[in-house]
Every structure is written in structure tokens, then in C-alpha cells.
Amino acid sequence: MNFLIPIIISYIAWIPYIYKNGKDILKKPKTHILSWITVVCVLVAQMFLYMDFLAILSFSVWKFFTVIIVSVFFTAIAHGTIYLHKTKSFIAALWVFFCVALCFELTLFNFRFYQTAYYEPVDVTEQVNFPYDTSDEANENNVYKIKNSYVTLRIDDVDIKVNNIYLDITGRDDHGEVENLYAEISFTDESNTESFIYTPEHTVMSEVGSTKYLYLMTNGDVGDLYITLSTDYATTYQIDGILFNVSAPFNFSVIRLLAVFVLLLIFWILRPSSKLWGYSYNDKSARQIAVTVIIVCAQIFLLFGLSLLNPIFYGHPAYHTRQYQQLADSFIDGRLYLEDTPPEFLQEMDNPYDYGARSDAAAENNETYYWDAAYYEGRYYVYFGVIPVLLLYLPFKAITGMDLPNIAAINIFMVFFVIGSFWLIGKIINRYFANKRIPYLSYLILSLIFVNASCGVFIAKRPDFYSVPILAALTFTVFGLGFWMSSLEKGGLDPFDAFLGSLCMALVAGCRPQLLLVSAMAIIIFWSAVFKERLLFSKKGIFSTVAICLPYVIVALGIMWYNAARFGSPFDFGANYNLTTNDMTGRGYRVERVGLSVFTYLFQPPYFIARFPFLRSVNIDTGYMGQTITEPMFGGIFVAIPLLWLIYLMPRYAKYMKKAKIFAFACLSVALSVFIAMFDAQGAGLLQRYVNDFSFLAILGAIAIALTLLSINRTSGSMRIRSFLRFSLFGSGAYCAMIVFAKYGTEIYYQNPYLFNKVAELVEFW
């Protein structure tokens, strides 16, 4: 009976058309084709929801109402899509995409509700066999201790078909906080009577209802069933119930509904044929300025929100991550070294940088040392760039008497980085494509990709002490490049903008010294000013020349004095003296590391998986016969960031880029990106946070190529690059979202398990 309902509803929907246009509409093949496509979609959806190929033939009150609702939604979507295709109406788009999102929410995202609607629950709590005498371990609330970080619960002779298990079990730590439990199910069934089938690990968190349901794929009745619970932090577990074959509740999520609706709407708005692509970038347009300000503010608030997801970064950070705060105290007291006194065993060691020997000595003497500080001649120093301390930490401490949290410094620099990034992309357009009618939409897309994929999301996810100098350097870099380009906008060379640009670029040396290499971009930016217009390094350009060079001299003198006062050499930043996992003083630079570093940082494919967060750190396999320092990595940038795929097209479009005078800019950006990647790998190792040092340069090169393609007046090519930019935005967004929840040291998975599991519940709905 159910198969007749979608047929009836799909044809009833044509009545308004018949009333308006007459019965001739029924003679058109398209009418019947659309109706039957709708019918087939409804029937397939019903079979999927109930996981029953005969669902369309059987009848029940519940299935009757389900098929009516699905038929109405599919019919509305079909007719709305036709109307949207004809009119391109924004109102029609709102209607269609809201219906699609609502249909997904009522059906696809809640298919477990339909699938389990007819289950009859079986309570097996009393049948559980414990691995030890529970009388000594339980209290009146059925709370049991977890021994050796795991426990196995046995249910023997089940002898029924088990479709799912409902585990109402709560794990808590010593402080009473709810923690994750990891359940592994093993069972025998009619196909495996003697050997057990082992299922993957499933996270159970009592505060997130969907995690309590485990869906088993068994053949016939189950014999014996074991539930192994393991944990990272929980010390007790409380059993409130273990049931088989429980109906899943209907989980309607407004957040998921709105997210799907907004994503579909944005995807449609950015379609290549959209009229919005016809609006050219104009930094003088009040309307465009207003839209840009709104998007910049939204981007800043998004990154602010991400930085607050992990409580470890604003709660009680590790002691060694307070180096900037302690350095500010030292400056106030008139010292360049930290107040902490190194232990005697460290001073007595022949090589205090030998990690193994240092750890053994610390254990023997029952003492600790300052992790990751620079140790030199009996003193602790901070080898990280000093500029963030002088700009933020020291003034804050001097004025308020309190320490500035690292997360606050991150967010301050993040505000300026976002603003500077949007400003820089605009300056690139004005500098090289002023008369090429670059679409305003492309400016927004490229700016968003630059901010998020270069460093914004990863640093916001991990707003710790290590990220402060990196983000500070990137902030000064984008403003430095922007001011340099701005200095050439008015037909000459503005000394003030040139001075500000050089000051920003020079300050990079006091944040992240290797990024000082980006100053080489001045050769490209000022090439014409030096060799053609003679505005620099000439008699008429003496004032401008001083404006560009003076900041480097002043900053260099200050940093060189600071280095010499600490380590005896103006060129020694002290990075090799840090007390870390390896002896940096003997690390050296070896050509054998180049291949691994280039592949891992640039070309390693990401490791995608089918479980939330759908991204896992890659396996770094190397033949290098020496110590390789690694942390979890999530793929090379030339593979993981779709926009960078344009770099492979650079040779093909070189002539167009040369015509726009941006070819050298793109080449040097990419070359510097590769060089800094190799430098970081040689100097410290393969760490995901070091990707922030060079990914922005590669993205700048890709942006140069994208703008060149957009400037070429070819309709088909223009449509292709628009489609690719839309794909790049969504692809980069998806990758960044996976990065947020991927496991990386102090990740959200452990520090904020409720949030992790709640998001997983919304995304991994199957």
C-alpha cells in the first residue's frame, strides 16, 4: 500500500499548474518524468530508513505517516528546484534549501530512529557477570572500581538476536568528573560459535545520549557477549542499565538543521553563474567595505570561539608554557635570564642537552628542570622571540601587575592577522590587477582561505605559548608586505608606508627569525622602483632608501645586542640550547633529511578515515638512520589545501602571469615556502605547528595564479576557476574543521570530551 502514496502526492502537486496552465501540462513527458523520479526517491528513502527492501509493500500506521511526510518533502523539493532553476530567485533558494535541510534532519540524520522503531528492549543488567567479587567493590549506587584501566563484563548464553546494545554506564575520575569510557564488544553468533567476533572501540559518554547505543551486525542469535570497558582517566564506573534491542530516540538538532541550510545556501550563492561574480573588487566602495568588515568580524569571532574550545589553554597551562610571563618579570627586575635556578645536577653534567642522561640524572636526584628553556652557562633563558614580550606581556604586567595569559596574546595577534590578511590580498589585487575587474567574491574567498588554511584554524585550536611568536611573525609579515605594496600605489614611493613595511618585516626577526627570509620579497616588490624608476638607492630616492633600510638597522642592533648579552654572539638566538627531547647542539644540517621533509611537509596525502573527525595523523615512515623528531602530521600542504593545486598550473599560465608582472612574486613565494619547510625540518623536525611558518607563502603564490586566471577574459575558463574557488573554499573549510577535532597532543578529545562527542553525534549520525 505504501508505494501508492508517493504516486498520488506527486501528481496532486500538479493541480495548481493545471489550474493555471490547463490540462496540456499532463501531456508533457517532463511532468511524468519528474513525478516518477520523485516517487522512486521516496521509495528508496523509505527502504533506507527501515533497512527493509519490502518496506514499500508492508503497511503500518507508523510507516504510513512516514511515507506521507517524505513524499510531501520530496515533491516540494522537486517543484521548488524547478522554480529555482528558472527564476534564480533568492526566496526560492531559501525555501528549497530549508526543505532539503529539514528533510535531511527528519529522515537521513535520524534513520536510526526509524530502523529501531519496532525493537523490543531486553534488560540484561542482572545477567552481567563481573570479573571479581562485586560485593567488596560496589556501593548502593552500583559504582564499581576500575582496576588496571579496564574491566570486562560478561553476559553468557544470550540466545536472542541482538541488534543493538544500550550501555547506560557512567565513568568518573577521582574528582567526580564524567570521563570517556571505551567499549569493545566481542560475541559469538550462529556463524561463529567457537570463536569470538571483535568490534572496533566505541566511545561511551553518559552525558551524550547517542554514544550509549552500539549497533551490532550479528548473524542469528548471539551466544556469549563480552563488554570490555577501558579508560584514560576514569577510576570508577556506575552501571544504571544494560539493555539489548532498544529503540533509538528521535534526535532533532536545530544546530545541524541550520548548518546544512547555511552551507547549501552559500554553495548556491557562490555558483559560477551567480550575478554576484559580476561585481568587481573596489576598495573604495562603501558597500563592499561594509560587507568586508562584517565578514572580518565574523572570522575573528569564529577564531575566538575556537580558541576557547580546549580548557587546558585557559585553565591551568603547563609551567614551561609560562616562559613569556616569567621573562616579563625578569625584564622588570633588570635581568635577561629567568629567575628559576637550575638544579646542581644540570650544572655538573658534561652535556646537559643529552635528553636521556638528563632524565636519568633528574630521577636520581629527585629533582626537576625547566623543560624547553634555553640552558646556558648555569642560567635559564627564553630562546623564543622577544618582541611579543616587549609589545604585550611586559606592558600588561607593568600596568596591571598580572600575567597576560598566552591565549589573550594569541587572540590579540589573531585580530591583527585577520585584518592584515584581508588588507594584503586587497593590496595584491590593486598592485597587479587594478584594471582587470577581479570579482569581489573571489577576493573574499581567497582571503578566507588564506586566513584559515595558512594558520588561523590550527593556532586557534592550539592557542599555546609556542604559537605566540609564530602568529606574531605572521602578523608582522602580512602588514609588512601590505605596507610595501601600499607605498607604491600613488605613482611614486611613499616613504612613510615604506618605513612601516620595513619596520614590520624587521620585527619578524624578533619573533620567528627564519621568517626574516620573507624580506626577500622586497626585491620583487621594489624591482621597478630600483632599476627602472630609480626611486631607491639613488640620489633622488635617498630619503625613501633610508626609510626602508633604517628599521632593519635599528631592530638588528637591538636583537644583536640582546643575543650577545645572553649567549656571547650577536647571531646566536639560543635555540640550540633548549632542554628538549634531543640534543640540538649536535643536530646539524644533513642532506639525508631533505627528501623526508619535502614529502611530509608538502606532498604527504592526508590520512582520511570513516569515523569522526575523519582525519588521523599520517604514519611517517623513513629510512633516515638517525634521530627524527616528529609530532602528529595531517598531510602535506600541496595535497591537503585545494587552492595550492593551482601551483601545478604555473608553467602553463606563466605567460599570463608575466604579463601581469606577478610571475616572479608567485615563484619567490613558493620557493621561500619550500626553503623554510626544509629549514624547519633540519633545525627542529617535523611538527604540524611549523607548517604555519611556510604555508602562507605557498597560498600567496596560489592566490597570484588564481587572480591571473580570473583576469583572463575567457568565459569558459572564468567559469572553471569560479567553480574551483568554490570547491577550494569548501574543501579547505572541511579540512580545517577536521583539524580542529583531530588528535594532536592536548586535543579536545581528552580535554573537552563532552564537546567532542556532541559534535560527533551531529556529524557521524550513522
Q: What is the mean pLDDT of residues 31-50?
A: 73
- Residue-wise pLDDT for 395-435, tens only, equals 999 999 999 999 999 999 999 999 999 999 999 999 999 88
167 pLDDT higher than 90 = yes
**Contact indicator for 442, 725 with CB cutoff of 8 Å:** yes
Higher pLDDT, 472 or 4: 472
> Phi, psi at residue 677, to the nearest 5°?
-60, -45
Euclidean distance between CA atoms 15 and 13, whole angstroms: 6
**Contact indicator for 544, 536 with CB cutoff of 8 Å:** yes
H or E segment to which residue 19 belongs: helix 15-21
What pLDDT is recorded for position 622? 80
Euclidean distance between CA atoms 632 and 639, whole angstroms: 17
368-372, Cβ contacts within 8 angstroms, sequence gap of 24 or more: 368/343, 369/342, 369/343, 369/579, 370/320, 370/338, 370/340, 370/342, 370/579, 371/319, 371/320, 371/579, 371/580, 372/320, 372/323, 372/578, 372/579, 372/580
Domain extent listing, the chain? 4-115, 122-244, 294-311+404-763, 318-400
| Other beta carbons less than 10 A from residue 325's beta carbon | 21
Euclidean distance between CA atoms 424 and 428, whole angstroms: 6
Euclidean distance between CA atoms 504 and 476, whole angstroms: 5
**Contact indicator for 2, 59 with CB cutoff of 8 Å:** yes
What pLDDT is recorded for position 133? 44
What pLDDT is recorded for position 78? 77
Specify the residue for cell string 511532468.
31
The class (CATH top level) of 122-244 is mainly beta
727 pLDDT higher than 90 = yes
What percentage of residues in the chain have a pLDDT greater than 70?
93
Q: What is the mean pLDDT of residues 231-241?
A: 84
What pLDDT is recorded for position 718? 83
Q: Which of 281, 102, 331 is nearest to 711 (CA)?
A: 281
96 pLDDT higher than 60 = yes
Q: Which of 150-159, 582-591, 673-682 has the lowest mean pLDDT?
A: 582-591
**What is this structure's pTM?**
0.90
Q: CA distances (Å), 184 to each of 211, 328, 752, in order?
A: 13, 50, 22
Which amino acid is residue 473, in one-letter code?
A
Sequential DSSP letters for 637-655? HHHHSGGGGGGGGTTTTHH
Residue 453 per-residue DSSP state:
I
Q: Which of 459-468, 495-504, 691-700, 716-725 has the lowest mean pLDDT?
A: 716-725
Euclidean distance between CA atoms 160 and 244, whole angstroms: 9
Q: What is the mean pLDDT of residues 230-246?
A: 88
Q: Which of 486, 518, 40 is nearest to 283 (CA)?
A: 486
**Contact indicator for 228, 179 with CB cutoff of 8 Å:** no
What pLDDT is recorded for position 134? 44
593-597, 625-629, 728-732 — most confident range = 728-732
256 pLDDT higher than 60 = yes
What pLDDT is recorded for position 624? 78
Higher pLDDT, 533 or 680: 680
Q: What is the mean pLDDT of residues 285-293?
A: 96
> Residue 155's beta-bridge partner residues?
225
Euclidean distance between CA atoms 137 and 143, whole angstroms: 8
Q: Which of 403, 418, 397, 419 is nearest to 460 (CA)?
A: 418
